[in-house]
Amino acid sequence: MAIYRKGEGGLVRGVAVALLFAVALFGAKRLAEWLPRFVWAQQSLVVTQLGTLTWARVCAGVLLAFCVAGLWVLMNHAKSVDFLIDTESELRKVSWPVDTAQPRFADRYRELWQSSMVVIASVLIMGGTLYVYNKVLSLGFAQLVLGG
């Protein structure tokens, strides 16, 4: 299978693959730790100087292999690749407020600080609003369902 739009979106593809591979690796590790609860998964297949190969580790390895194959397919799927490439091109258009090479660095830093405070305040206000809505709706549904 050929690489879709080779040479485009290299940075964002690399970051996406690295993050998804880290999630897959974590999942395989957790599976290898969880499966030994079952008797069949504890059976040794091969004993080497590196350790013992058990069915639990084989299952984790197969899961990881399927995840890597899925990553390859995902990173060559037209819609996902086009989305990542478009995302990278939009991020290149952003005017980042802090650039030490530009003159008037203090003004740019002040702009960054003010913008950050606006974002943090907005997130806190939205979080509080959603919390209140959740509590009101939970109480309303509890009254409706429990009739209390």
Rounded CA separation 135/148 (Å):
16
Rounded CA separation 54/40 (Å):
9
Rounded CA separation 2/104 (Å):
48
Q: Per-residue pLDDT tens for 8-46?
A: 777 888 888 899 999 999 999 999 999 888 888 888 888
Residues 28 and 88 in one domain: yes
φ/ψ of residue 75, rounded to 5: -75, -5
Q: Per-residue pLDDT tens for 30-39?
A: 999 998 888 8
Q: How many domains does the chain have?
A: 2
pLDDT-derived band at 72, boundaries 50, 70, 90: confident
Residues 49 and 105 in one domain: no
pTM over 0.85: no
Whole domain around residue 107: which residue ranges? 97-148
Q: Per-residue pLDDT tens for 87-129?
A: 888 888 877 666 656 666 666 778 778 889 999 999 999 999 9
Residues 83 and 23 in one domain: yes
Residues 31 and 67 in one domain: yes
DSSP-based three-state secondary structure for 102: coil
Residues 77 and 120 in one domain: no
CB contact at 8 A, 55 and 31:
no
Q: Could you identify the residue written with the tokens 């084989």? A: 58
Residues 28 and 84 in one domain: yes
Residues 87 and 129 in one domain: no
